[in-house]
Amino acid sequence: MRIFVFTLLILFAFHACIGRDIHIVPIVGGLNGTATTTRYWDCCKPSCSWEGNVDVVSTAWSCLNDGVSKLEDDNVQSGCDPDKDGAAFMCSDQVGIIVNDTLAYGFAAVSFSGGVDLSRCCQCMLLTFQDYLIQDQQMIVQITSTGSDLPANHFDIAIPGGGNGLKDMGCTYQWGNGTFDSIESADDCLEIDESLQPGCLFRFTWMKGSANPPVTFQEVECPQEIIDASGFHACFGRDIHIVPIVGGFNGTATTTRYWDCCKPSCSWEGNAHLVPTVWSCLNDGVTKLEDDNVQSGCDPDKDGYAFMCSDQVGIIVNDTFAYGFAAASFSGGVDESRCCQCMLLTFQASSDGKDYLIQDQQMIVQVTSTGSDLPANHFDIAIPGGGNGLKAMGCTYQWGNGTFDSIESADDCLEIDESLQPGCLFRFTWMKGSANPPVTFQEVECPQEIIDVSGCRSNATEYY
């Protein structure tokens, strides 16, 4: 009995960790070539953690000297510059992440031009190793840093204990003297801070101790797992590809906001006609439910416990562009015909001309739900605290009484559960508090970043 339970737990954990599918999506016409590699871990704030170095609003995380407390402020000086009162170091989780024996994720300091090269901060490259020990093993690395000592076409893979590089005091400032001096084996990894041991061991397990193998590389879309480890909301690559569907659905629509906490309509296999469907979550808002048939938490009389997931919210790409999710209707009333399709919304001034705050800002939303109270051509944008809608008790069932009652400002957002605060703040930051602006819309291909969050792609296997 004990063994049986244990096995189930392992299966569940494995599934929960890597999501339903690993999609390696090469960027057509993207950068590719051959390159050399080395290892590094200099403990210094990564170059792509500075807002000024990255074209996008969101940068790679840096951390306090514990390696785990992430710094919201992009302008904290590097811990490698103690004379500038620097306090920003590398985060211990930006290390190799094993997917399976032949595929891993990771991070690297990179140069394509030779020397400091910030041009590709936050982009992802698929490396294929050319070395007999790990021949043909592949690793998707996100570019989080660069370095004046790097030759052209070079990946310096982030591996704790892998080498200090130029900034040879960095790790002493972060972790004390001597810690990183002589890592030569998996055993040595056990001598350094616990938070760094998995990253250090990666070199001796998945990489089999291989020393600086050459690679071929190809630009790919960044997997969500990498963005989650490195990003503030998301350290997206710079090239956001908006791909309109030729002859696709388009028009003008009205918008509102909602967050009713209920299982989204497109989470039901029978409604979405697609497998996989949109993720729903346990009442913690983060534990994803594999079972599409769990009743909605808004129906406690049916023992429902499937709620909205706290990450299906607005995601800022830059000042004028964002991703998100919406309940939509095109026919008026419940309309599941476009579950999991993506629409590019372009915000317009309100009809009285008074609300023009986000005019021309664009947002790609995925249709994850619908609603009997929605008029035709309407997007109800998913924003925590945005409004309960018809299911007035849903959020009480998920989060307790009163939580969502009167969100009118960014400050109010800080009163709700932490997991929902980024989504709530989106309304007051990126959307500038704009109230229900009209939009024009155009059907587009769903970006991988959206699919990775919702779990659903509009061209998924059809299910009836």
Ligand X SMILES: *[C@@H]1O[C@H](CO)[C@@H](O)[C@H](O)[C@H]1NC(C)=O
> Which active-site residues does the annotation give?
42, 260
Q: Which of 240, 289, 349, 357 binds ligand X (CB under 6 A)?
A: 240
Q: How far is the CB of 1 from ligand X (least distance, A)?
A: 30
- What span, in angstroms and rounded, lies between the C-alpha atoms of 151 and 163? 16
**Minimum CB distance to ligand X smaller for 387 or for 400:** 400
Contacts of 65 (CB under 8 A, 6+ apart): 79, 87, 89, 173, 174, 175
- Establish if 100 lies at the interface with ligand X (CB under 6 A): yes
**Minimum CB distance to ligand X smaller for 126 or for 313:** 126
Q: Which of 136, 284, 319, 405 binds ligand X (CB under 6 A)?
A: 319
Contacts of 239 (CB under 8 A, 6+ apart): 27, 123
Q: How far is the CB of 171 from ligand X (least distance, A)?
A: 11
- Establish if 247 lies at the interface with ligand X (CB under 6 A): yes
**Minimum CB distance to ligand X smaller for 47 or for 442:** 442
| Single-letter amino acid code for the residue at 110 | V
Q: Which of 40, 50, 305, 321 binds ligand X (CB under 6 A)?
A: 321
Count residues binding ligand X (CB under 6 A): 30
Q: How far is the CB of 346 from ligand X (least distance, A)?
A: 12
Distances (CA, A) of 412 to 194, 226, 404, 422, 437: 37, 31, 9, 12, 22
Structure tokens at 255: 């918008």
Dihedral sign computed on CA atoms, order 180, 186, 188, 194: positive
| Residue 276 preceded by cis peptide, ω within 30 | yes
**Minimum CB distance to ligand X smaller for 325 or for 430:** 430
> DSSP string spanning 377-398?
SEEEEE-TTS--TT-TTHHHHH
- Establish if 250 lies at the interface with ligand X (CB under 6 A): yes
The number of beta carbons lying within 10 Å of the beta carbon of residue 181 is 12
Which residue stretch of 46-54, 100-108, 271-279, 377-385 sits at the interface with ligand X (rule: CB under 6 A)?
100-108
**Residues present in the chain in total:** 464
Q: How far is the CB of 275 from ligand X (least distance, A)?
A: 12
Q: Give, as one character, the DSSP assignment of residue 223.
A: P
Which residue stretch of 94-102, 145-153, 207-215, 344-352 sits at the interface with ligand X (rule: CB under 6 A)?
94-102
- Establish if 99 lies at the interface with ligand X (CB under 6 A): yes
Residues numbered 383 to 412 that lie near ligand X (CB under 6 A) are 400-401
Structure tokens at 242: 């908006």
- Establish if 317 lies at the interface with ligand X (CB under 6 A): yes
**Minimum CB distance to ligand X smaller for 163 or for 248:** 248
Q: How far is the CB of 399 from ligand X (least distance, A)?
A: 8
**Minimum CB distance to ligand X smaller for 119 or for 318:** 318
Binding mask 6-25 for ligand X (x = CB under 6 A): ----------------x---
- The β-bridge relationship of strands 103-111 and 250-258 is unpaired
Q: Which of 7, 34, 75, 102 binds ligand X (CB under 6 A)?
A: 102
Which residue stretch of 95-103, 190-198, 293-301, 323-331 sits at the interface with ligand X (rule: CB under 6 A)?
95-103
Residues numbered 46 to 65 that lie near ligand X (CB under 6 A) are none
Nearest to 196 by CA among 65, 5, 304, 103: 65
Q: Which of 5, 29, 301, 303 binds ligand X (CB under 6 A)?
A: 29
- Establish if 30 lies at the interface with ligand X (CB under 6 A): yes
Bridge partners of 295, per DSSP, are none
Q: Give, as one character, the DSSP assignment of residue 161.
A: T
* 273 neighbors 462 (Cβ within 8 angstroms): yes
Which residue stretch of 28-36, 74-82, 87-95, 152-160 sits at the interface with ligand X (rule: CB under 6 A)?
28-36
* 324 neighbors 315 (Cβ within 8 angstroms): yes
- What span, in angstroms and rounded, lies between the C-alpha atoms of 59 and 117? 16
**Minimum CB distance to ligand X smaller for 102 or for 135:** 102
- What span, in angstroms and rounded, lies between the C-alpha atoms of 456 and 326? 13
Q: How far is the CB of 176 from ligand X (least distance, A)?
A: 4
Q: How far is the CB of 442 from ligand X (least distance, A)?
A: 6
| Single-letter amino acid code for the residue at 295 | Q
* 41 neighbors 160 (Cβ within 8 angstroms): yes
- Establish if 459 lies at the interface with ligand X (CB under 6 A): yes
Q: Give the residue closest to ligand X by C-beta.
A: 240
- What span, in angstroms and rounded, lies between the C-alpha atoms of 403 and 76? 34
Residues numbered 327 to 386 that lie near ligand X (CB under 6 A) are none
* 424 neighbors 413 (Cβ within 8 angstroms): yes
- What span, in angstroms and rounded, lies between the C-alpha atoms of 418 and 422? 8
**Minimum CB distance to ligand X smaller for 234 or for 256:** 234
Interface positions with ligand X (CB under 6 A): 22, 26, 28-30, 32, 99-103, 176-177, 240, 244, 246-248, 250, 317-321, 400-401, 442, 445, 457, 459
